Structure 1
Amino acid sequence: MDIEQNQAELIDNFVKQASVQKGTALGSVILEATSHPSLFAFSEILAVPTVAELEGTENSVYLKVLQLFAHGTWSDYRSKLETCALLFVTSNCSSLPQLVPDQVLKLKQLTVLTLAETNKVLPYDELMMELDVMNVRELEDFLINECMYAGIVRGKLDQLRRCFEIQFAAGRDLRPGQLGSMIQTLSNWLGSSDNLLVSIQEKIKWADTMSELDKKHRKEVEARVEEVKKSVSVKKLQTVSRPKLSSEGSRISTLNLVE
């Protein structure tokens, strides 16, 4: 089963569960969804009315977690925790709970997908910083075992250049305000494609013209060659058919003239 079909079935299942739960029970559904090893899209769950109703309640922490997994990265989560620690704030940090190991793994996988949105060559140094990985071996194991084997990315590990070359990456949920920039990007791509198509058509037309000129030139050369061949054949024929006098005949004619 491909990743898109698997995602659709999982999303449908969690949306149905979230639609009939509230409070702590709904929180358990969100915890399960954000920990599931094969689920990487959460916007449909966020759109469920019962989930939106968590805002401002004692269970709003579950909404914050779901928003983090829909749009955030590991560095976003880490930065918010560090800010709370520096400011010695605990009450406002209740919206940032300690993630369970499966959630940590999932958020790091999603971080790779976010990085792949804007850059198809990801330096190892950037990845290690964004993922909180200490060495190259750990990073490569993560990319192979948790990303490529999971089917969310395909690519090549370049140890010499110390980078991960992305060939395919699954898409994440659209972030608020991202739709406009995506439309602009697609419009730019469409414009570039149109320009490229015009350029290709012009080159095809030029190639056709050159091909016709080449054919015409070839025919002219072939015709000239035939003319030369005919001319040579005629000259050979004339040379062969011209009468030749024998030496005796020449001598007799000379004697007759003397007499």
Structure 2
Amino acid sequence: MTQDMLLGNEEPSKSKETFLEKFCVLAKSANGAALLDVIRQALEAPNVFVFGELLAEPNVAQLKGGPDAKYLETLNLFAYGTYKEYRAQPEKFIELSPAMQKKLQHLTIVSLAIKAKSIPYALLLSELDIDNVRHLEDIIIEAIYADIIHGKLFQNTRILEVDYAQGRDIPPGYTGQIVETLQAWVNSCDSVSNCIEMQIKYANAEKSKRLLNKERVEQDLINLKKVLKSQASDSDESMQIDTHGPGTSGGLGLGPSELRKKPSKLRNPRSSAVGLKFGK
């Protein structure tokens, strides 16, 4: 046996035969010991793991409160109960044959697999009233080959990982709880849907704001570029007027020829004075 065993990988059969049907047909016309024998055969049958249709038969329902009520209680146990319940009050039920005990243990594994996908060996040992791990693994493998569970055994960590578990019969009155659970799930889905819609609306509003802001910023940039271009053009025209227009020499109103002549008149004023002195 390997350290971990992958078993029951195949998808559960979609067209599995209803093996209980023949027992329902027999129960319709059976009474007394014949009816009790039909019930025992159904409880031992290797391919029968649901019993709701048989429990619904009038002849079977009439066993309630009678001398053979234990048969009805045992049938209810196999439909809805577990092996631990049987071990707690064995006097309430008929004496189970080895085949019946093993089937009830298999059904107990199914009940555990429906509740959790990872089942420790310790829990299985307790629920099945087994003190031997090898025996426990054999029972699990038998349940897998019976196609009521699929899973993988991890011997190192002592865990059964469940991939699939067959459903069991629904107890009377449990339908209301299922409806409440489904309604709560629907309400939760509606709340999540409403929350998502609100988030979508908020995101769309924020997107619109960002687009408007982007357009405003782009328009401001265009206007700023126009202003800067206009100022640059005015500055170029001003520089051209100051460079080529009249009075560019400091505002004295002198042309280039006057600027050349002026210094000659002011040059060497002392020489003129000396010349006047010698003239006398």
- In structure 2, the residue matched to 1:35 is 44
AA matched with 2:98: V
Change (3 A) 1:230 1:166: farther
- In structure 1, the residue matched to 2:178 is 182
Matches within 5 A, 1:16-165: 16-55=25-64, 60-81=69-90, 84=91, 95-101=93-99, 103-136=100-133, 138-140=135-137, 142-143=139-140, 145-154=141-150, 162-165=158-161
CA radius of gyration, larger in = 2
Q: Residue deviations 1:31-76, cap 9 Å, x none?
A: 3322333332211111101222344666555433322211221111
Q: Which runs of 5+ in 1 are unaligned?
A: 85-92
1:164 CA drift (Å): 4.1
1:111 CA drift (Å): 1.0
Contact 2:106–2:143 at 8 Å: present in 1 too?
Answer: yes
- In structure 2, the residue matched to 1:88 is none
Matches within 5 A, 1:169-208: 169-208=165-204
1:226 CA drift (Å): 4.9
State, as a whole percentage, how many aligned pairs show the same letter. 32
Change (3 A) 1:50 1:132: same
Change (3 A) 1:29 1:126: same
1:162 CA drift (Å): 4.8
Q: State how far apart, in whole Å, the 2-side matches of 1:17 and 1:78 are.
A: 30
Change (3 A) 1:12 1:236: farther
Q: Which runs of 5+ in 2 are unaligned?
A: 1-10, 262-280
Number of equivalences: 241
Q: Residue deviations 1:143-199, cap 9 Å, x none?
A: 4x3444544345565667654455543322122443343333333333333323322
- In structure 2, the residue matched to 1:213 is 209
TM-score of the superposed pair, with normalisation by structure 2: 0.65
User: Do residues 255 (structure 1) and 247 (structure 2) align?
Assistant: no
Q: State how far apart, in whole Å, the 2-side matches of 1:229 and 1:172 are.
A: 78
Other structure's SS at 1:6 match: coil
Contact 1:61–1:97 at 8 Å: present in 2 too?
Answer: no
Other structure's SS at 1:171 match: coil
Q: State how far apart, in whole Å, the 1-side matches of 2:161 and 2:211 are.
A: 46
Contact 2:71–2:94 at 8 Å: present in 1 too?
Answer: no
1:222 CA drift (Å): 4.2
Q: State how far apart, in whole Å, the 2-side matches of 1:139 and 1:72 are.
A: 19
